[in-house]
């Protein structure tokens, strides 16, 4: 029984070593022969992070002005937002849609019945 166990263990070790040893073609990529694979440029240029833009919003019904801040793509940072649409929302809210012409980005500004502003980037 001991001889059979030793034979089985020896076969298992030999099998594991045959799978663990890379072939000569693969050895260069794993650095075992002192050679390395050339670096692969897989990264695309990163976009700049969004920027915060602040502007004044005028409530069309009460003529009150509110200062709002929205995060927009960096390409829109220098553009001035223009009012595109104004519609009524739920619970007496007003939804104002502003567009940044240079980058085709829109932002919704919600003015609640109590004068609170909510910015939807």
What are the residues facing 119 on neighbouring strands?
Answer: 109
pLDDT tens profile 87-116: 999 999 999 999 998 788 999 999 999 889
**45 domain residue, yes or no:** no
The boundaries of the domain holding residue 78 are: 51-120
- Whole-angstrom distance, CA of residue 49 vs CA of residue 39: 27
**8 domain residue, yes or no:** yes
The pLDDT score that the predictor gives to residue 62 is 86
**95 domain residue, yes or no:** yes
pLDDT tens profile 28-86: 455 455 566 676 666 667 788 999 999 999 988 888 999 999 999 998 888 889 999 99
Residues 59 and 105 in one domain: yes
Cα angle value 24/27/30 (rounded, 5°): 170
Tell me the pLDDT band of 6, cut-offs 50, 70 and 90.
Answer: low
pTM for the whole structure: 0.61
- Whole-angstrom distance, CA of residue 36 vs CA of residue 84: 57
């Amino acid at each position: 029984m001991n001889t059979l166990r030793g034979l089985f263990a020896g076969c298992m070790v030999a099998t594991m070593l045959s799978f663990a040893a890379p072939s000569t073609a693969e050895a260069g990529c794993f650095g075992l022969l002192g050679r390395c694979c050339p670096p692969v440029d897989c990264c695309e240029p990163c976009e700049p992070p969004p920027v915060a833009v602040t502007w004044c919003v005028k409530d069309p019904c009460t003529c009150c002005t509110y200062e709002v801040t929205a995060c927009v793509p960096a390409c829109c940072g220098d553009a001035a937002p223009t009012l595109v649409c104004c519609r009524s929302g739920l619970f007496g809210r007003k939804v104002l849609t502003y567009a940044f012409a240079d980058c085709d980005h829109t932002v919704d500004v919600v003015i609640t019945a109590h004068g609170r502003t909510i910015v939807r980037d």
